[in-house]
A and B are shown apart, each in its own frame.
Chain A
Amino acid sequence: DTAVSQTPKYLVTQMGNDKSIKCEQNLGHDTMYWYKQDSKKFLKIMFSYNNKELIINETVPNRFSPKSPDKAHLNLHINSLELGDSAVYFCASSQDSQDGGETQYFGPGTRLLVL
């Protein structure tokens, strides 16, 4: 059973297009995240949602808009794609706890290439 799944796995598109990446987790977790991994493998958090509520919203262009229809899904919509958006986007999820320290489980990644 796949714990955190993302679609599509690969996405090749032209500059200026709008695209969406979908993420689903079947772990029953309360919190979901989007991360961006650049060509140098550097990972940076973009957003997190807890029970459909936006918690973390890093300095990300407003062309990126996350949407959480329910706590098992967190989608990422990107408008007017630019060359610099080319990267691997990872979705992750974790359980809530009072003390924190819960492991974040990562999806397989979506490799986005903007031409």
Chain B
Amino acid sequence: ELKVEQNPLFLSMQEGKNYTIYCNYSTTSDRLYWYRQDPGKSLESLFVLLSNGAVKQEGRLMASLDTKARLSTLHITAAVHDLSATYFCAVDQGAQKLVFGQGTRLTINP
């Protein structure tokens, strides 16, 4: 059974700092997704990573995928308050069945 684990689960950081959220998964897959969820809101798609070595960037966020290590990272550069949210990674187990990580609750303080 596919297991997806994120760490850290909680992250409090200061504006302007850099940090990385890690997403490990237990069985082979080459499709990984990152989503953002604001409190009380829906999930917003951030990145779709479809192959080993895939790297995507949008603004201060950059995601990468290493399928051999079964690891994806979400890197935040020079954090700003607006990035405070819960971030989820999800791995496609096949037939578009996504298995989600526990989520990382990110708080960015001025």
User: Which residues of A line the B interface, CB within 8 A?
Assistant: 31, 33, 40-45, 48, 55-56, 90, 92, 94, 99-109
Contacts and interface: CB of A to CB of B under 8 A. Distances in A.
B33 A103 contact: yes
Size category of the B interface is 20 to 34
B100 A42 contact: yes
Interface string B23-62: 0000000010101010001111100101000000000000
B42 A31 contact: no
Contacts of B33: 103-104
Contacts of A92: 43
Interface of B: 31, 33, 35, 37, 41-45, 48, 50, 86, 88, 90, 92, 95-100, 102-103, 105
Contacts, number: 60
A101 B50 contact: yes
A48 B88 contact: no
Contact of B96 (A42, A102, A109): A102
Given A90-B43, A101-B48, 7 more contacts: A48-B96, A56-B97, A102-B48, A104-B98, A106-B42, A106-B44, A108-B41
Contacts of A99: 50
